[in-house]
Structure 1
Amino acid sequence: MLQTLVVKIGTSSLTQPANGLLALATIATLVEVLSSLRQRGYRIVLVSSGAVGVGCARLGMTERPRTIALKQAVAAVGQGRLIRIYDDFFTSLQQPIAQVLLTRSDLVQRNSYLNVERTFQQLLQLGVIPIVNENDTVAVDELKFGDNDTLSALVANLVRADWLFLLTDVDRLYSADPRSDPDAQPISRISRIEQLKELQVKIGDRGSRWGTGGMTTKIAAAQIAVGAGVRTVITDGRHPRNLEKILQGEAIGTQFEPQPRPASARKRWIAHGLIPTGTLYLDDGAVKAIRNAGRSLLATGIVRVEGEFQSQEAVLLRDRSGLEIARGIVNYHSTELQQIKGQQSDAIATILGYPGAETVVHRDNLVLS
């Protein structure tokens, strides 16, 4: 069966750190490697940062823009230039590409999510390499991915990828920042996300002066991806040929072992496509029923409601201590839940004055964390 690879390369790998200009040799090598893998039967999606960085260089700016309006204008300048460079390199190897610009709203609405999914599948069937970036020109703050690490993890979930490669400016995950701590220890394999807490990993917030992500966002992206059944690797973006070596079994970078993939496409969308707008805190009985028996959530199991949300929006489900246990689509809005929390289902109609759903979150719309 053909394997699908999502490769994310960050601004720190695409550009020269001193001046933000494109590192053309790195891009050329990456294009050669991806084209070769495509010829060998792999399905490839490239998530590429760099539009803002390229735009800054084109406009002679020495710092990344701070305001949203300026960033969007600079991204508009840089995106066309970036995709042209990719097209020139890929065309020289007879490899067709496509530009796909996404905002978070494209994945929040179920219909648009399915449309995006179908577009990706059609492109991959045609042998095209989609080049994906956030549509910085139109994205608004509340509907932004925030960084391309998160975007790449969500795309990996969307296309049901086998591998997600996060190419960055370090060769793997370390117990501390190796650029400032000589005692930092390399970490080669993570079988459980919880290991990161056990190892007390110290991670930086920023990758470079030209980028938006740091190791924090990469670990968060890995958590999304492995939860969707995608094996994830953090490795050095300056050496793209490592992709081939890793696929051949070499222990390069840090690998995150995947968890079982959710069987339902709808549940993958609930888990990773939606943005939770509220939180429900549950008693021990409800937590046990959901975790161990796969039951729906009833009003009687809710002890606290946080946030304002409408019916059919996504919410987080947490135990009394605040640990996230699941997320799902709720059948009531927050005002109603404040009235019926802790109550038996047969009392709902009397309390609200009208009949409501028996379940607060039905098990078909609920995904364990």
Structure 2
Amino acid sequence: MSQTIVVKIGTSSLTTPDSGMLALSTIASLVEVLSQLRAQGNQVVLVSSGAVGVGCARLGLVERPKSMAKKQAVAAVGQGRLMRIYDDFFTALQQPIAQVLLTRGDLIQRNRYINVLHTFQELLKLDVIPIVNENDTVSVDELKFGDNDTLSALVASVVDADWLFLLTDVDRLYSADPRSNPNAQPITIVKNLDELAEVQTGSSGTQWGTGGMVTKIQAARIATGAGVRTVITQGRTPQNLSKILSGELIGTQFEPQPRPFNARQRWIAHGLVPTGQIYLDEGAVRAIRSSGRSLLAAGIVQIEGAFESQEAVKLCDRTGQEIARGIVNYSHDELEKIRGRQSDEIPEILGYAGEETVVHRDNLVLS
């Protein structure tokens, strides 16, 4: 049966730890495996890190740059080199590829999100393997994905993937960092991410990468919430992908949550960046959780953040636990005036006829 598979490979797997030079044997193995999966009828997307690392090696830099401007310049040098390598390897196997560079803003605006979705759909119909990276040369801090683990999870959500593979420099998730703790226990299956509260996730794996195990767990939360089975496994052995797809328990697998989302709901849940929080009383929480109702002003007890109408917000209970997120019909200032009040009072309070709902149920997704 044809499946949609997103594979993310990190800088730590693509490059040698000491020099940051490309690990060509790993890339060759990965290209061979992905081409085989495509030939078997699967739809394949590759999210590849490495542009900054390759740029550093090309320019003779001994450490990853700290400033945004220098990082962007180095990424511009590395991205072309990285794609040249991929194109050479994939062409040898007669597999067409495409470069897709994204910023966070491409997923925040609804029309751009739809354009991204349609581009992926057309590329996959053409039997192309899209190679995705963050557009580091134009990204700004406020609109960065932060790391390619997050980017890959969001791409998996956009394309409605069946699998997300996070290829890294360890073979699976452990209860602690196995490089420094000999008593670390392997974790094979994760049914609920809350089980990992006590796991020591450590920091980024190498000086050349930006991610670490904590970002992979965050990515797994996004992907599994969108119904995507997620796997953390060793990047140096891409052959494991086929074995895992055949049913072998290699790496750490995160079981997907039920997939209730349509494309618009996935956009609200994962594409948008919340700019505020709205705290609700117990009645409003119950109405949203159990009945899927819209949020009314009467159920709001507190508001945080400077947001405008039609921006995304988190809906939380009194303790701050997020229960849902959605697109709000009022700005922060307007909500401060009408919170706790009945809908029929809103026109008199604001001086104009506003919306009955603060967040309509069609623009609301449970967390």
Q: Normalised by the shorter chain, which TM-score bucket?
A: over 0.9
Q: Which residue of 1 aligns with 2:189?
A: 189
Does the 8 Å contact 1:262/1:268 carry over to 2?
no
Q: Residues 203-249 of structure 1, C-alpha deviation per residue, up to 9 Å, x if partnerless?
A: 11212110000001000000000000000000000100000000000
Q: Which residue of 2 aligns with 1:267?
A: 265
CA drift at 1:193: 1.2
Larger mean CA deviation between 121-130 and 345-354 belongs to 345-354
Q: Secondary structure of the equivalent of 2:341?
A: coil
| Structure-to-structure mapping, 1:69-88, within 5 angstroms | 69-88=69-88
Does the 8 Å contact 1:326/1:367 carry over to 2?
yes
Q: Which residue of 1 aligns with 2:67?
A: 67
Q: Secondary structure of the equivalent of 1:259?
A: coil
**Of 303, 312, 315, which residue of structure 1 is paired with 2:313?**
315
Q: Which residue of 2 aligns with 1:220?
A: 218
* Letter paired with 1:236: Q
Q: Secondary structure of the equivalent of 2:79?
A: helix
Q: Secondary structure of the equivalent of 1:194?
A: helix
- Note the aligned Cα RMSD (angstroms): 0.6
CA drift at 1:263: 3.4
* Letter paired with 2:140: V
* Letter paired with 1:353: G
Structure 1 residue 297 corresponds to structure 2 residue 295: yes
* Letter paired with 1:222: A
Q: Which residue of 2 aligns with 1:177?
A: 177
Q: Which residue of 2 aligns with 1:132?
A: 132
What is the TM-score of this pair, normalised by structure 2? 0.99
**Of 227, 231, 234, which residue of structure 2 is paired with 1:233?**
231
Q: Which residue of 1 aligns with 2:121?
A: 121
| Structure-to-structure mapping, 1:34-183, within 5 angstroms | 34-183=34-183
CA drift at 1:262: 2.7
CA drift at 1:122: 0.3
Q: Secondary structure of the equivalent of 1:338?
A: helix
* Letter paired with 2:60: G
Structure 1 residue 2 corresponds to structure 2 residue 12: no
Q: Secondary structure of the equivalent of 1:196?
A: helix
- Structure 1 Cα separation of the partners of residues 2 and 208 of structure 2: 35
**Of 334, 337, 343, which residue of structure 1 is paired with 2:335?**
337
- Structure 2 Cα separation of the partners of residues 149 and 192 of structure 1: 19
- Structure 1 Cα separation of the partners of residues 233 and 29 of structure 2: 15
- Structure 2 Cα separation of the partners of residues 287 and 88 of structure 1: 54
- Structure 2 Cα separation of the partners of residues 321 and 181 of structure 1: 35
Q: Residues 38-82 of structure 1, C-alpha deviation per residue, up to 9 Å, x if partnerless?
A: 100110000000000000000000000000000000000000000
- Structure 1 Cα separation of the partners of residues 195 and 42 of structure 2: 31
- Structure 1 Cα separation of the partners of residues 242 and 16 of structure 2: 24
- Structure 1 Cα separation of the partners of residues 304 and 181 of structure 2: 41
- Structure 1 Cα separation of the partners of residues 83 and 43 of structure 2: 20
Name stretches of at least 5 consecutive residues in structure 1 with no aligned partner. Answer: none
- Structure 1 Cα separation of the partners of residues 312 and 246 of structure 2: 40
| Structure-to-structure mapping, 1:13-24, within 5 angstroms | 13-24=13-24
Q: Which residue of 2 aligns with 1:258?
A: 256
Structure 1 stretches of 4+ with a deviation exceeding 3 A read: none
Q: Which residue of 1 aligns with 2:350?
A: 352
- Structure 2 Cα separation of the partners of residues 348 and 207 of structure 1: 53
Q: Secondary structure of the equivalent of 1:115?
A: helix
Calculate percent identity across the aligned residue pairs. 74
Structure 1 residue 31 corresponds to structure 2 residue 35: no
Q: Secondary structure of the equivalent of 2:167?
A: strand
Does the 8 Å contact 2:226/2:261 carry over to 1?
no
Name stretches of at least 5 consecutive residues in structure 2 with no aligned partner. Answer: none
* Letter paired with 2:250: I
Does the 8 Å contact 1:9/1:49 carry over to 2?
yes
- Structure 2 Cα separation of the partners of residues 196 and 297 of structure 1: 32
Q: Residues 243-300 of structure 1, C-alpha deviation per residue, up to 9 Å, x if partnerless?
A: 0000000000000000111332101100000000000000010000000011100000
CA drift at 1:355: 1.0
Larger mean CA deviation between 349-358 and 231-240 belongs to 349-358
Larger mean CA deviation between 44-53 and 338-347 belongs to 338-347
Larger mean CA deviation between 343-352 and 146-155 belongs to 343-352
Does the 8 Å contact 1:188/1:251 carry over to 2?
yes
